[in-house]
Amino acid sequence: MEKRNHDVPLVQWFPGHMAKARRLIEENLKLVDIVVELLDARIPLSSSNPMLKGLIGSKTHAIVLNKADLADPGITREWVEFYKRMGKSALAVNSVQGKNIKELINMINTLTQRQTSKFAAQGARPRNARAMIAGIPNVGKSSLINRLAGSAATKTENRPGVTRAKQWIRIGKNIDLLDMPGLLWPKFDDPIVGLNLAFTGAVNDDTYDKEKVSLLLLDYLKEHYPKLLEERYKIDALPEDTTELFELIGRKRGCIIKGGRVDEEKIITVIFTDFRNGRLGKISLEAPSV
């Protein structure tokens, strides 16, 4: 995305909310053995939070790439390898269909074994692992918690008398998961990050220039996934000019208003929905730089 014009209006974050979220994470971190950091498989860098590293310190940390069903599978594999090379455990999942959820449970059990079996040598039974899920808004934290909990979910603890009781959900036999996920903020000072978050729908559509952003998305798709554009919109040769492509997509999809002009609002919606629902195909917006 280097050569692009990045004058996309930045999303406004609220420092007060951020400070509160940060405090909550710090507070909850003390209670768990492992933090599962949920990232969007299409934009692992843009959906990560630079502050988290400092917050978790030496706590066990696993990377989970969610929405893998929407991402380019080859690039997702590269990301998993990338994190592993950095010495982190990583796994790609689909929280809606429940793909790789068993593997995630195994991963949490394995990574926390040292803590849960601390007194095994003295004959004590291992205790349950305690985990929390953290990630930026809309990355799929609630979906993943629902998937992990399944239908047999039981709230295991709600200590009365404690001012802010923590809710735990028992996952399988050996894991207690904090019911409240940790809310993180994306990096908000990098325009490329803002753009990737807008493309994927992670930020509210009203916070940026939709037409500009949809043209930038087309630019990216034209460069990296031209075949998918040709197939979806039945175009034989993609026009050089992105605005032309934008209008052509409109004509192909019948986004026309009186007088034969294209309905720009409608085209923007078509492009965003097709991309975000995976109807264009499996697309990644970031690849590891090896």
Q: Which residues carry a binding-site annotation for GTP?
A: 66-69, 94-95, 138-143, 182
User: Is there binding between residue 49 and ligand GDP (CB under 6 A)?
Assistant: no
If DSSP codes are grouped into helix, strand and coil, which group holds residue 91? Answer: strand
Region from 15-23, 63-71, 142-150, 273-281 binding Mg ion, contact rule CB under 5 A? 142-150
For the residues of 227-286, what is the DSSP string, one character each? HHHHHHHT-SS--SSHHHHHHHHHHHTT-B-GGG-B-HHHHHHHHHHHHHTTSS----S-
User: Is there binding between residue 142 and ligand GDP (CB under 6 A)?
Assistant: yes
The contact pattern for Mg ion, residues 205-244, with x = CB under 5 A and - = no contact, is: ----------------------------------------
CB atoms within 10 A of CB 30: 7
Query: Which option in Mg ion, ligand GDP, none does residue 143 bind, with CB closer than 5 to 8 A by kind?
Result: ligand GDP
User: Is there binding between residue 137 and ligand GDP (CB under 6 A)?
Assistant: yes
The size of the interface with Mg ion (CB under 5 A), counted in residues, is 2
User: Is there binding between residue 24 and ligand GDP (CB under 6 A)?
Assistant: no
User: Is there binding between residue 138 and ligand GDP (CB under 6 A)?
Assistant: yes
Annotated binding residues, written as ranges, equal 66-69, 94-95, 138-143, 182
**CA–CA gap between residue 41 and residue 20 (Å, rounded):** 27
**CA–CA gap between residue 251 and residue 243 (Å, rounded):** 13
Closer to ligand GDP by CB, 141 or 253: give it. 141
Handedness of CA 193, 195, 201, 205 (dihedral sign): positive
Contact between 288 and 77 under an 8 Å Cβ cutoff? The reply is: no
CB atoms within 10 A of CB 222: 16
The size of the interface with ligand GDP (CB under 6 A), counted in residues, is 15
Residues numbered 51 to 110 that lie near ligand GDP (CB under 6 A) are: 66-67, 69-70, 94-96
User: Is there binding between residue 253 and ligand GDP (CB under 6 A)?
Assistant: no
User: Is there binding between residue 142 and Mg ion (CB under 5 A)?
Assistant: yes
CB atoms within 10 A of CB 219: 16
Query: Which option in ligand GDP, Mg ion, none does residue 284 bind, with CB closer than 5 to 8 A by kind?
Result: none
How far, in Å, are 20, 238, 252, 272 from residue 231 at the CA level?
A: 46, 11, 12, 16
Q: How far is the CB of 273 from Mg ion (least distance, A)?
A: 21
Residues numbered 143 to 202 that lie near ligand GDP (CB under 6 A) are: 143
Q: How far is the CB of 145 from ligand GDP (least distance, A)?
A: 8
In this chain, which of 22, 141, 232, 282 binds ligand GDP, going by CB under 6 A?
141
Residue 277: burial class (beta carbons within 10 Å; 0-12, 13-18, 19+) = exposed
Phi, psi of 34 (to 5 degrees): -145, 145
Residues numbered 196 to 235 that lie near ligand GDP (CB under 6 A) are: none
What torsion do the CA atoms of 159, 101, 150, 173 make, to the nearest 10 degrees? Answer: -50
Binding interface with Mg ion (CB under 5 A): 141-142
